[in-house]
Amino acid sequence: MTNTTTNNYPFLAACRREKTPYTPIWIMRQAGRYMEEYRKLRAQYGFLELCKKPDLAAEITVTPVERLGVDAAILFADILLILEPLGVGLEYSKGDGPVIHHPVRSGKDIDGLKDFDPEKELSFVYEAVRKICAALNHKVPLIGFAGAPFTLASYLIEGSGSRNYIHTKKLYYAAPQAWHRLMELLAARTAKYLNCQIAAGAQAVQIFDSWAGCLAPADYEQFVLPHTKAVIDAITPGVPVINFSTGTAGLLKQIRSAGGSVIGLDWRVNLDEGWATVGHDVAVQGNLDPVALFASPKEIRQRADDVLRRAGGRPGHIFNLGHGVLPETPVDHVIALVDAVHELSAR
């Protein structure tokens, strides 16, 4: 499923809600531990090391495109790379995920964050983007990405992943001015970071608000929405923006208000109902449960067909999982999903 002209990519056409010959599909975390090629590299290099070596980041990005037959590449990087220049001590510890050694818990801590220019400090990312685009050679478009301000802030404040986000919520309840100052800083740096990816060759970007599902609707509106909207509004005009979150079936109207050409839907909401909630004047992405890929290929095909049926052939559907592919997922099952989506949706 390749295309030779940059204007005819089914993925980009779907972002614009234009008709496509089939429903395009890409998969979050498609460059990850479920692939043997990636596991071999991870045995030799640390995660941050891979992110900072453009040649390897490019190889990791391009391999699944060739292996799976997906309709877009997603940059190999991490949402927390933008936090490291703040001087907070980012480390990826084996088995525990990312850790911030100097969490931000007060207005004083926020004032102590280092200022930095994303164009300079994250130049290795843009070099990877250029190498990826050259390697893809117009077969499929490249999606750049960044973390949304809330998810970045929650990592900064909690110091790692969290179940209840107590420190994060305490800060915005007790010190709203400090909270908004932090969010404004993150929004401005994130917008520049994404625009630098676009300048280097990314043709669409996705904003990951992975932890927004912990929020009450009123808190999202007051403490998060303005800052996510600020990032999206600042993106280079004409470039599609995917506004992705998970666990947010009760926040879809607010998320739509934050903006984006495409709204991500996870598997906790039926795709037809979710699309009706955000409105049919915006594209949607989703929304197969990642664990469905552990079922038989026959069952995967049936599940994919259900998602496609709910989309109803309406222009503007990009098939994806509701979140990232899991490390134990059989590669053949991912390929079976991609093939099924292309076959079942052929128009």
Q: Cβ distance 67 to 34 under 8 Å?
A: no
Contact (CB, 8 A) for 298 and 319: no
Three-state DSSP state, 269: coil
- Phi then psi for 65, rounded to 5 degrees? -60, -45
* Burial per residue of 29-67, b for 16 or more beta-carbon CB atoms within 10 angstroms, e otherwise: bbbbebbeebeebeeeeeebebbbbbebbbbbbbbbbeb
Three-state DSSP class for residue 260:
coil
Contacts for 175 with CB less than 8 Å, ≥ 6 apart:
106, 107
What's the confidence (pLDDT) of residue 95? 66
DSSP codes of every residue in 220-252? IIIIIHHHHHHHHHHS-TT--EEEEESS-GGGH
| Architecture of the domain spanning 6-345 | Alpha-Beta Barrel (3.20)
Residue 60 has a pLDDT of 97
How many other C-beta atoms can be found within 10 angstroms of the C-beta atom of residue 164? 9
CB atoms within 10 A of CB 81: 20
Task: Tokens 């095909």: give the residue.
Answer: 301
Please give the model's pTM, rounded to 2 decimal places. Answer: 0.96
* Spatial CB neighbours of 306, under 8 Å, sequence gap ≥ 6: none
Structure token digits, residue 307:
């998602």
Which stretches does DSSP call E strand in the chain? 73-74, 90-93, 97-100, 142-147, 204-209, 241-245, 262-264, 283-288, 317-321
User: What local confidence, expressed as pLDDT, does residue 3 receive?
Assistant: 41
State whether residue 145 is helix, strand or coil.
strand
Instruction: Round to whole Å and give the CA distance between 142 and 74.
Output: 6
Measure Cα distances from 177 to 79, 188, 243, 309, 346 in Å: 25, 17, 25, 46, 52
Cα 53 from Cα 85, distance rounded (Å): 17
Residues 150 and 211 sit within 8 Å (Cβ to Cβ)? yes
At position 292, the amino acid (one-letter code) is: A
Query: Would you list the domain boundaries of the chain?
Result: 6-345
Alpha-helical segments (H) within 201-323: 217-219, 225-234, 252-258, 271-278, 297-311
Q: Which active-site residues does the annotation give?
A: 29, 33, 42, 78, 155
Give residue-wise pLDDT tens across range 210-232. 999 999 999 999 999 999 999 99
- Please tell me the distance from the alpha carbon of residue 307 to that of residue 155, in angstroms, as a whole number: 32
Query: Hey, what are 203's tokens?
Result: 């043709």
* Structure token pair of residue 131: 């190498």
Give every residue of the chain whose pLDDT is below 50, as ranges.
1-5
> Is 179 in contact with 226 (CB distance < 8 Å)?
no
